[in-house]
Amino acid sequence: MIVDYHMHLRGPANGREGPVELTVEAVERFVEQAAARGVDEIAFTEHMYYFNELADFPEHPYQRGKVAHDLDTYCDAVVEAKRRGLPVKLGLEVDWLPGRLDELAEQLTPYPWDFLLGSVHIVDGEAVDMDPGLWGLLTVEAVWSRYLAALRELAKSRLVDVLAHPDLPKIFGKRPGPGALASFNEQAATAIASAGTVIEVSTAGLRKPVGELYPSSDLLTRCRALGVPATLASDAHVSQDVGRDFDAAVEHLRWAGYETVTVFDGRVGRQEPLG
């Protein structure tokens, strides 16, 4: 089985990110692309900061500027597509929010999620994945170590089922020395394993300055050794990116020793043979 468990529901646009389009027709375009790339099932994981119902949570100006959509409309579009028999799952990309994870968990409870995807994008009020963002405030070593602290807290909270792009700070190719990086990987893998969280192998990094899959071979191997399950992810913001570069992602998983991929239903995960 091949899944793509990370994407954003957008309408068509000429090669660039299209406008948010929360309709079954938009879902169908993503499903068609998945079928063309041999992906059996896809999951939508829209950013939580797009939704009016969750407008109280985002603090970063970029995220606050995106609040404009109805969470019920999003859920209804995906649930309706599912009802029509399309191979889709309902998820949400949830941001790490220090001190507010319990409150957020409560707000998200009424919705029919298949899984929640957790991301650390913002640390100390600045973005890890923007330039200069957090990089303008802290040394490279400090960015990685602050990110690790946030990732560990997010995993430990058990608010989310899967961690997105686990080594996101490599996005611009800035990394600490080999010793510090090995220590990051060891601590991240241990925290993820003890929380019982799943990680994603994401091809999005191939389209970023770093030009690599998330996570690195070293982090993925450590996760595998500790029994951490995995999903596959494109982080598509246009339907054309669904399942993009998945040969590389599947090979990455196999190389690290993975023989299964995680499939979610109603926030319960199970393992299916990979491929």
Question: Which positions touch Zn ion (CB under 5 A)?
Answer: 93, 119, 164, 235
| Nearer to Zn ion among residue 50 and residue 184 (C-beta) | 50
- Shortest CB 199 distance to Zn ion, Å: 13
- Shortest CB 135 distance to Zn ion, Å: 17
| Nearer to Zn ion among residue 152 and residue 271 (C-beta) | 152
| Nearer to Zn ion among residue 93 and residue 126 (C-beta) | 93
The amino acid sitting at 244 is: R
Residue nearest to Zn ion (CB): 119
- Shortest CB 259 distance to Zn ion, Å: 26
| Nearer to Zn ion among residue 114 and residue 235 (C-beta) | 235
- Shortest CB 112 distance to Zn ion, Å: 20
Backbone angles phi, psi at 182, to 5 degrees: -60, -40
